[in-house]
Amino acid sequence: MGVKVEATLNMRELNADLTILPMHARTMQKPLTLHPALPELCKIDYPAAYSFFKYAEADGLERGDFLLFERIDATNVGVMIARGDIRRKFDLYAITKALRRMADLDLHNKYSIAFPALGFYENDGIDVKNVYKMVKRFLGDGKKPVYFVLNY
């Protein structure tokens, strides 16, 4: 079906079957305050998924890990560990590893996916074009649409 750039709707408004949240392996005392979009996305839109992520984080997560929470917060939520620490920039290696796992799970044939356009915000510290290329490479050949959401 391909990868479509979504510039108008945000992750919640898109109503995709699977929403991907970009998270980190290790947190600080107030981890979400350092990113413009994550506090609302995690604590208001997907609180149960964020709670399960925090539980998994206590057991230890690595860059590139992917967690799938099905039928939670009125949708399916995937958590991609896209960087090692909230204070660091997003990591293309970690994103690629998570995308490979998503492709191995065949998620792009089961669900329409809302994927955050990492790199869209200046403090993401990664080139949005490189992220788009990786999303297209790993998820672009599925039966369901993948939305590359600029306003996440």
Domain ranges of the chain: 3-149
Residue 36 has a pLDDT of: 62
Residue 39 has a pLDDT of: 73
Residue 32 has a pLDDT of: 55
Per-residue buried b or exposed e for 121-139, using 16+ beta carbons within 10 Å of the residue's own CB: beebebebeebbebbeebb
Element (H, E) at 22: strand 18-26
Alpha carbons 147 and 11: distance in angstroms, whole number: 9
Alpha carbons 93 and 26: distance in angstroms, whole number: 17
pTM over 0.85: yes
Residue 86 has a pLDDT of: 66
**Cβ 146 vs Cβ 135: under 8 Å:** yes
Residue 90 has a pLDDT of: 85
Residue 27 has a pLDDT of: 61
What residue spans of the chain are helical by DSSP H? 11-14, 38-39, 47-59, 92-104, 107-110, 128-139
Residue 151 has a pLDDT of: 83
Beta bridge partner(s), residue 70: none
pLDDT in tens, the chain (152 residues): 789 999 888 888 888 999 998 887 766 545 554 566 677 777 778 888 888 888 888 788 889 999 999 987 778 999 898 887 766 788 899 999 999 999 999 999 999 999 999 988 777 789 999 999 999 999 999 999 999 999 87
Fold of domain 3-149 = Leucine Aminopeptidase, subunit E; domain 1 (3.40.220)
